Amino acid sequence: MASVAELSPVTLAALIALVRKHTGIAMNERKSVLLERRLRPRMAALALGSYQAYMERVESDRSEVPHFIDLVTTNDTQFFRTPHIWEYLAKRFLPEWQRSHPDQCLNIWSAASASGEELYSAAMLCEEFQLLHGPLRYRILATDISQQMLALATAGQYGGRSVERLRASHPALYARYFVANTAGARVRDELKRNVTFCRHNLLQPLRPAQQFDLILLRNVLIYFDAEHQQTVLDCARPSMKPHARLILGESESIQRLASDYSYDAPMIYSLRAGQP
């Protein structure tokens, strides 16, 4: 393997700009160790001896861009992350939605789904709701910019802490919706039958245009600066049905942005009255 040169301040700045260009993610100089650690194995695999050469590859070879995106995105997630929100969805959102939309199909968008724990949590939520309250038609669109994450989400195969945490916190759901195997556990096909997977960059409008009753936009805005947060919100707005709820992550707030969303409760937003 060619030895890799150090990441100089000038090269680091160019790399940070390249990350922003392809993902919208805003990094600063403190991310240099993270970038080095993530990019070096890929550079070695491609026998590229400098970051400059790797950046040129990303810019000149479109097939390298998805690998680059996989490497620079952070994909931490877990089943039923932020339990308080899932309580709200089970006890408030779904009963109210079903009362006011009898016989309609509930459309959910898991908008930065990572490896899929969030979208399968939503599917389990809907399946459990049906057991208690009768039929509920639902569809889930799962999108992420990382094709590697989408592949993991589509496979629905989980191991390690992800499954252990779920088995400890929700043993009945684990037993009902997962099949144990040597690698951990796989979600049952019934959890996948209402799910569509699609690669999507949140800085662009969703195509084809679709509207949702619930958008889970959790733990992704934190990676963007205010300008790109605003772009993400502007792009998501046409995807909100008039009564829809937008759910953010625990450390995210959009109240300071000039947005069309109004604050309902921590992490929960809806369209401002009068917005189409």
Ligand X SMILES: C[S@@+](CC[C@H](N)C(=O)[O-])C[C@H]1O[C@@H](n2cnc3c(N)ncnc32)[C@H](O)[C@@H]1O
Q: Which residues bind ligand X (CB under 6 A)?
A: 23-25, 73-77, 81, 112, 114, 118, 144-146, 149, 201-203, 218-220, 223, 249
Q: How far is the CB of 39 from ligand X (least distance, A)?
A: 16
Q: What is the residue whose two structure tokens read 């790109």?
A: 228
Q: Which is nearer to ligand X, 112 or 191 (CB)?
A: 112
Q: Which is nearer to ligand X, 48 or 141 (CB)?
A: 141
Q: How far is the CB of 202 from ligand X (least distance, A)?
A: 4
Q: How far is the CB of 231 from ligand X (least distance, A)?
A: 9
Phi-psi region of 47 (alpha: psi -120 to 50; beta: other; left: phi over 0): left
Q: Which is nearer to ligand X, 77 or 98 (CB)?
A: 77
Q: How far is the CB of 274 from ligand X (least distance, A)?
A: 29
Q: Which is nearer to ligand X, 55 or 142 (CB)?
A: 142
Q: Which is nearer to ligand X, 98 or 120 (CB)?
A: 120
The 8-class DSSP code of residue 93 comes to: I
Closest CA to 141 of 189, 194, 177, 98: 194
Cβ distance 108 to 147 under 8 Å? no
Burial of 113 (0-12, 13-18, 19+ CB in 10 A): buried
Q: How far is the CB of 152 from ligand X (least distance, A)?
A: 10
Please tell me the distance from the alpha carbon of residue 85 to that of residue 91, in angstroms, as a whole number. 10
